[in-house]
Structure 1
């Protein structure tokens, strides 16, 4: 719980050997777009209301009782509710994390956890506990939180993959984009799979350039840092693409010592089964 990205980068040695790499702290990066400011309206609806304008408040979750609005006023307009998805929902979740009503990183999907977080936030401030993010709830949340940066918005990954580097369009390639923090597995220009990844810190950066997989080690343990590196596919000295338990547990609130960390174990297990020694690795911005 609490504000994301409070861990600072830890200065550890920049020299990596075939023993591999492990985890260290890092800080937030990037900035998000300016938040959408919503005006609370109590007048008559427009003749052609948007889909959200047409929504009417539904009953509160079972076991809760929504207080009626004051006499003579209309219920606040619902902006997002369970089942919605998109960038705005991701920002809502990031702001709920800032005020410690949501633990999980933003996913962009308004699920049951988000609904409960909104309901708790509303109840604490004397608002109807509907679990739906309406204009009044959103304004209160805006006043208690700051604009989330890109790091906060994509704490748990989920960014769209960057366009492939031209060097990735031929042959069998692990195409790794630092700007979008994604890995594409490509065969003859076709993307077979995509997954979120993280990299080394400024003190132990992941090397950029064109490499090739020279060694695979399914149950590898780093001899340098005494940490597990499952599904390791080494491409440059001790730097490898591998599964990271820490990345899976803590998202981007950390960094490797130069390796390309993957958080989705099922995805990297499938990738490991397909990649062969000699396959190309391209790391680029």
Structure 2
């Protein structure tokens, strides 16, 4: 079976630039360095990281921001509080706020029995049966700009516990396909690594395995919202 999605990673900087060097103001800063420049989202990033919120870049701020960027594959790792870093943090905050009531707004159908819900806006997924939460919510990584995970009502139609992508030559463990070449499957990379997948819904291994054990062919999937940055 040919598949259209894979885990996609690339060097992405502020404003979507892909380069080893990033132009910050009038000076080109090498990706391996730690910038002294204050970013446009300095206060928000400081607050997220539990740093003193003064809106001024410090070396300690930079190191904390860099650690976050390294952990989540955000490039360049120069400790700059830019749009991509803050967007990632804002998504994480939305996921935390969801708690155990991810469908509080009622956007995922509750009249279909067991269904896997995918909220692209919050990069969040869960399994529910009617209005009862069965598993999750869990963070996910969906399609990047131009290869977005398609929205709407779907159904799981093919499952392969150790699927091999014939297009991208990569393993896709615990694959459950629900729309063309798009599927739930596990990845070992950070779910926040930009720019996104090739259309699949990437999950941590523990969550992909839990979905595998709770879903079957014919089960409903509902995808809604819009991924930040797409």
Specify the TM-score bucket, using the shorter chain as the normaliser.
0.5 to 0.7
Matched, 1:170 2:154: no
Cα deviation, 1:70-102, whole Å, max 9, x if unaligned, reads xxxxxxxxxxxxxxxxx9444639x88961345
Aligned to 2:195: 254
Deviation at 1:160, TM superposition (A): 3.5
Of 140, 147, 169, the match for 1:197: 140
The answer on whether the counterparts of 1:212 and 1:235 sit within 8 Å (CA) in structure 2 is yes
Which residue of the partner structure matches residue 278 of structure 1?
218
5+ residue gaps, structure 2: 16-39, 72-78, 226-230
What is the rounded CA distance, in whole Å, between the counterparts of 2:113 and 2:60 in structure 1? 42
**Structure 1 residues 277 and 217: alpha-carbon distance in aligned structure 2, compared to 1, 3 A threshold:** same
Alpha carbons 1:106, 1:153 under 8 Å: kept: no
> Is residue 19 from structure 1 mapped to residue 3 from structure 2 by the alignment?
yes
2:113 corresponds to 1:150: no
CA distance in 2, matches of 1:276, 1:198: 21
Q: Residue 214 of structure 1: CA displacement?
A: 0.3
Relative to 1, partners in 2 of residues 1:177 and 1:99: Cα closer, same or farther, differing over 3 Å? Answer: same
Deviation at 1:254, TM superposition (A): 3.4
Give the aligned partner of residue 232 of structure 1.
Answer: 175
Q: Displacement, 1:252?
A: 2.8
* Cα distance in 1 for residues equivalent to 2:69 and 2:94: 9
Report the TM-score, using the length of structure 1 for normalisation.
Answer: 0.52
Gaps of 5+ in 1: 1-16, 37-86, 108-140
Label 1:167 to 1:210 Cα distance change in 2 as closer, same or farther (>3 A).
Answer: same
Q: State whether residues 144 and 196 of structure 2, in contact with CA within 8 Å, keep that contact through their aligned partners in structure 1.
A: yes
- The alpha-carbon distance between structure 1 residues 91 and 210, as it changes in their structure 2 partners (threshold 3 A), is farther
Give SS of 1:235's match: strand
Q: Larger C-alpha radius of gyration, 1 or 2?
A: 1
Indicate conservation of the 8 Å contact 1:173/1:282, yes or no.
Answer: yes
Contact conserved, 1:165 with 1:175, CA < 8 A, in 2? Answer: no
User: Larger % of strand: which?
Assistant: 2
- The superposition leaves residues 12-55 of structure 1 with CA deviations (integer Å, 9 ceiling, x where unpaired) of xxxxx7424113246779xx98937xxxxxxxxxxxxxxxxxxx
Aligned residues: 178
Preserved contact between residue 41 and residue 81 of structure 2 (Cα < 8 Å): no
